[in-house]
Structure 1
């Protein structure tokens, strides 16, 4: 059964979509079957994986309002082991259209539950806001991964995000946990990046990934070519960073499955 990871941070420009695209692609590169779910109306994960978001007949929007099934909008990308539920600007209307719908916070979950056994990982790219779409992602997810940019206001808004995660856990998804924090756009040449990392480690009582994603020009270029970094420039520091992050995610998943099996054997 898939591990479902929501990548969330209501602050824009922190490397959330970059992480969704490249973590998905690097997990797929390691022979894991991966479904990337683009639940952001900007549709940047969709275009970043080489899909023309403007020409799509069915997207996650049509799925959520009941006009098509998950299979109708599922796309096999041109990358091995990597599938996509695409998005485009139409999804912006979902917030209003879902008003008054029963259990609207669980719409995505109901769809994903049916196909969880078909994948190893499901990665959800959330919008940069705490709205109905983000709540749908969190009710569907097992864990939340939070990218944090190495800049002065790194912790700003993080308290609100943690509060939202706790609220969702309390009221909608008791099994939701923090996957951890990953630092992005790290520049080893500046003292500020180092200070931000230390500051977050001191103030945040959460799992922090050992992998730190560097600031890398090739990472910024890759989406405009519709390619993940491990395909666009396999030898770049950005590709190496996301490969290491994928390894950590896989190790965490395997360790957790092992602990669950141990508990079951004891029973």
Structure 2
């Protein structure tokens, strides 16, 4: 299948990292070979998937991989089918490297880096930071598909149009093959009327771009960030079920595009 998929929007706390982590975990459980790429200097994807301190990976991160345009020495094995290119907060200096030392095109560094190993993975999953800067441009330029995260609250909904414009800019300037994979609604509180109304408004505005799958708030999901993602108990299966439905939709959309 060989698809590179990024998760983003210019808002923090909307479930990007959790969705990237759990989706990577579940795809690996299904037998797909997955590389998770932490491209956010907070390193939360690294912490969640490895259950290690992010500073354990200092000098062995995606930043070094990008500088050398070779990820192989910096890929960390999480499980049989799941690897990660980790990050820690020195990744924040990427723009300085891009404009002071890099001699190539500033937007294609991550793409060139991942091309070295792309054929070895069924899915490469990129966790983007909550901004519209160089990290996000590089992540989207490296992607085949962009998943837009929509937390069901007004500020995040207001950011949708600008992120869509940003995606169009990437398509026009650095990655004409980028496909909008869809809009995923996250952290929905079924008890809040405004959450449901925002979801309905998104469906009215963006129609079938909105995934049928909806990620609702679950306390067990929060615990995964501390304990690691697990799929052993009934509570785990209940918490993971919406993500299972999402990746099934995602796989179907990728297959449909690849057939076209």
Q: TM class, shorter-chain normalised?
A: over 0.9
1:116 aligns with 2:90: no
Alpha-carbon offset, residue 251 of structure 1: 1.5
Mapping of residues 146-161 of structure 1, within 5 Å: 146-161=148-163
Alpha-carbon offset, residue 199 of structure 1: 1.1
**Equivalent residue, structure 2, for 1:126:** 128
- 158 and 242 in structure 1: CA distance in 2 versus 1, 3 angstrom threshold: same
1:33 aligns with 2:38: no
Q: CA RMSD in A?
A: 1.7
**In the TM superposition, what whole-angstrom CA distance separates every residue of 1:138-195 from its partner, at most 9, and x where no partner exists?**
1110110011111232312211111111011001111011100111111222222211
CA distance in 1, matches of 2:17, 2:91: 16
1:75 aligns with 2:69: no
1:17 aligns with 2:36: no
Number of positions where the alignment pairs a residue of Structure 1 with one of Structure 2: 256
TM-score w.r.t. the length of structure 1 is: 0.90
Q: Which residues of structure 1 form unaligned runs of 5+?
A: 260-267
SS at match of 2:5: strand
CA distance in 1, matches of 2:65, 2:108: 13
Mapping of residues 176-255 of structure 1, within 5 Å: 176-204=178-206, 207-225=209-227, 227-228=228-229, 230=231, 235-255=236-256
Alpha-carbon offset, residue 80 of structure 1: 3.2
Spell out structure 1 runs of 4+ moving beyond 6 A: none
| 8 A Cα contact 1:218 1:233, kept in partner | no
Q: Which residues of structure 2 form unaligned runs of 5+?
A: none
**In the TM superposition, what whole-angstrom CA distance separates every residue of 1:10-30 from its partner, at most 9, and x where no partner exists?**
111110101110111111111
1:89 aligns with 2:96: no
CA distance in 2, matches of 1:149, 1:232: 27
Alpha-carbon offset, residue 2 of structure 1: 1.3
TM-score w.r.t. the length of structure 2 is: 0.93
